[in-house]
Structures are given as structure tokens and as C-alpha cells.
Amino acid sequence: MPKPDKVAAVKEIAEALQSTDVYFVVDYRGLTFHEATDLRGRLAKSGASLSVVKNTLAKIAAAQVGVEGLDELLQGPTAIAYVHGDAVKVAKTIQDFIKEKKKASIRGGKLQRSVLNATDIEALAALPSREQLFARALGAIAGPLYGLANVMNGPLRGIAVVLGQVQEQKSKAA
């Protein structure tokens, strides 16, 4: 018969897996308590939470909620970052932390129905942020409109220049 604390842990992991479509599996080997706390804080600012899990309990929880493809990621010391916001921002936060501390590694994760490996997450982290994508889209929309306004104002500008020259000639003649 399973112990009540393990049943509760499985339930907690299962609820966390069901609460989001995106999560990343991190090998936290080598991190001190303070570094892990720092990573948790950074992830909280990015819209994610980090939980250290026991692999066997995480596998049971994943099976209970129908999540497939995590078994090969759950090897060794494991923490799961549950994403509740922008997945790209969270991936960048984890990658920046790993580069800065030169400890830990990202094993993979899940983005909706797709299982991701470490290189997929690195590619995800390389994407521009949501705000940058909006700015690019706005620029792509505004650029042609600016050009059209400039073209439409061209004849009016020409008329203004001609009228200015006529006025100047009349003032010289007078």
C-alpha cells in the first residue's frame, strides 16, 4: 500500500501537469540551494513555477493524466518548470540561467502535444519575445501605410513648392 505522502505527491504532480500545456524538464545537478531559489524566482517573474520531483512519482502522475513521452526525460535529478505564461520567455530564462551559472541542463519538455528535446528548447529560446514579434508585425503593417501616405502627399508638396516659387517671383517683380 502506498504511503499517504507519496499519494499526495503524485496527485500534486498530476494536477500541475494538467494545469498547463507547456513544461520543461530540467536536470538540476550541481545547483546549490541558493541557485535553485534564484532560478525559482526568475521563473516566477517569467510566468512559471519550478518543482523538484521524484522520477518514479512523476512517471506515475504522467500515466494517470495521460501524458506520454516524459519517461525518457525523467532520469537523474529532475525538476519540472510548469509554464503558465509565455513559453519563449520561460525557455530564455532557463537557458540564460544555465549559461550564467554553467550548471544544470535542460533535458526536454512538452509544448502542447509535442515532446521537445533540448535542442528544440534552445531553438524556442532563440525566438524573439512576444513583444518583439508584435513590434515587427506592426512595423510590417505600418511601413506600407507610411509609404502610401508619403506618395499621396507628394503632389500636394509639389504644388506648395510651385506656389512658393510663384510668390517669390512676384515679390521680386514688384
Q: How far apart are CA 102 and CA 79, in angstroms?
A: 17
Domain boundaries, the chain: 4-127, 128-174
| Tens-digit pLDDT profile for residues 45-77 | 988 999 888 988 888 888 888 888 788 888 888
Per-residue pLDDT band for 1 (boundaries 50, 70, 90) equals low
| Tens-digit pLDDT profile for residues 125-170 | 887 777 777 787 877 787 777 777 777 777 777 787 777 888 888 8
Ramachandran area for residue 80 (φ above 0: left; ψ -120 to 50: alpha; else beta): beta
- CATH code of the region 4-127: 3.30.70.1730
Nine-digit cell at 163? Answer: 506656389
